[in-house]
Amino acid sequence: MDKISKGVLCAGIAVADVVVKPVTGLPEEGKLQLVDEIELHCGGCAVNTAIGLARFGINSGLSGRVGQDGFGSFLKENLAREGVSTSGLKMVAGERTSATAVMVSPTGERSFLHFLGANRNYSAADFDLQLFADYRILHLAGILLTPSFDGEPAASVMRQAKEAGLVTSLDTAWDATGRWLKAVDPILPYTDLFLPSIEEARMLSGLKNPEEIADFFLKKGVKVVALKMGSEGSYFKSALGEDGFVPIYPVEVKDTTGAGDAFVAGFLAGYLQDWPLPRVARLANAVGALAASKVGATAGIRSWAETLRFADKGFEE
């Protein structure tokens, strides 16, 4: 892929992930338990998606908030190394960078202990609207884990992005506070692409069936809904009536951390190519599968050429 001059600005959560594997349970108080791996990785929906896009050769940037601490420096340095613009990343003295202990089971499924940190205070005031000139898509990532940004502030930024001619995209996180639709509803009328997990979409809509869930969000003003459905693949539907289920790409699952964010990177990359939605969704599934084949949120994301070869074959290389 030639470098796309106007790619994707990813705005939202930036997290340092401490990945522990395998975890079959917590030790008793005062006891020690051995594990095979403990690694530090870049994490957070906005960071993961931005890195995935940069790996494809797509111009990507990050708008976020971290502390002036070791985790914050780690994130900024690694983003720069990946080719992600950090001009929109604020490092704030006196705050601590968000972090997650990612506990990976022997089957690759994950559980999380999460510290909101600086993400708690990420707000519309941290967002530089002048960045719009450099991008074609604004992607808000990790909504429901940015309490100062969720709801009306995020809706205002999305509205201004659309007025500036950008395509808008939205991904949510699991809401441990129970706000769900109340925090997301104001954003939906200004959202072109909505890319939640099926579990989050069910909590937001109160519905179970993927087709009904998609219709729920399309009626809210969303143009395209794509649901990440784990082992069941994905489902997409557009306001124009296009829809379909897309099966998974079979891989040996090592760690599903960041697989959903990788799906989003693939979806946005395909969308930037102006591909038909079925092809966009197939690419997104392929990128998500590759991410799950390695430990760490972005370790499995490959170059554009390698990803296309994998997606065309339909099985692991």
Q: Which domain holds residue 9?
A: 4-14+44-97+117-313
What pLDDT shows up at residue 258?
78
For residue 30, tell me if it sits in a domain: no
For residue 107, tell me if it sits in a domain: no
Residue in this structure with the two tokens 């006196």, named with its chain if needed: 94
What pLDDT shows up at residue 256?
75
Cα(110)–Cα(63) distance, integer angstroms: 26
What dihedral angle (degrees, nearest 10) is formed by the CA atoms of 199, 136, 149, 190? -70
Q: Within the chain, which residues score under 50 in pLDDT?
A: 315-317
CATH number at residue 302: 3.40.1190.20
For residue 23, tell me if it sits in a domain: no
**pTM, rounded to two decimals:** 0.91
For residue 110, tell me if it sits in a domain: no
Is-contact 83 53, C-beta < 8 A? no
Cα(93)–Cα(67) distance, integer angstroms: 6
Domains: count for the chain: 1
Cα(203)–Cα(292) distance, integer angstroms: 24
DSSP the chain: -PPEEEEEEEEE--EEEEEEE--SSPPPTT-----SEEEEEEESHHHHHHHHHHHTTEEEEEEEEEESSHHHHHHHHHHHHHT-EEEEEEEETT----EEEEEE-TTS-EEEEEE-GGGGG--GGG--GGGGGGEEEEEEEEETS-TTTTTHHHHHHHHHHHHTT-EEEEEE---TTS-THHHHGGGGGG-SEE--BHHHHHHHHS--SHHHHHHHHHHTT-SEEEEE-GGG-EEEEETTS-EEEEPPPP---S--TTHHHHHHHHHHHHHHTT--HHHHHHHHHHHHHHHHTSSSSSTT---HHHHHHHHHHTS--
For residue 21, tell me if it sits in a domain: no
For residue 25, tell me if it sits in a domain: no
Is-contact 101 76, C-beta < 8 A? no
Furthest-apart CA atoms within the chain: distance in Å:
58
For residue 39, tell me if it sits in a domain: no
Residue in this structure with the two tokens 């890319």, named with its chain if needed: 195
What pLDDT shows up at residue 297?
67
Beta-bridged to residue 88, according to DSSP, are 63
What pLDDT shows up at residue 1?
60
Structure tokens at 86: 């950090």
For residue 137, tell me if it sits in a domain: yes
Structure tokens at 175: 């809401």
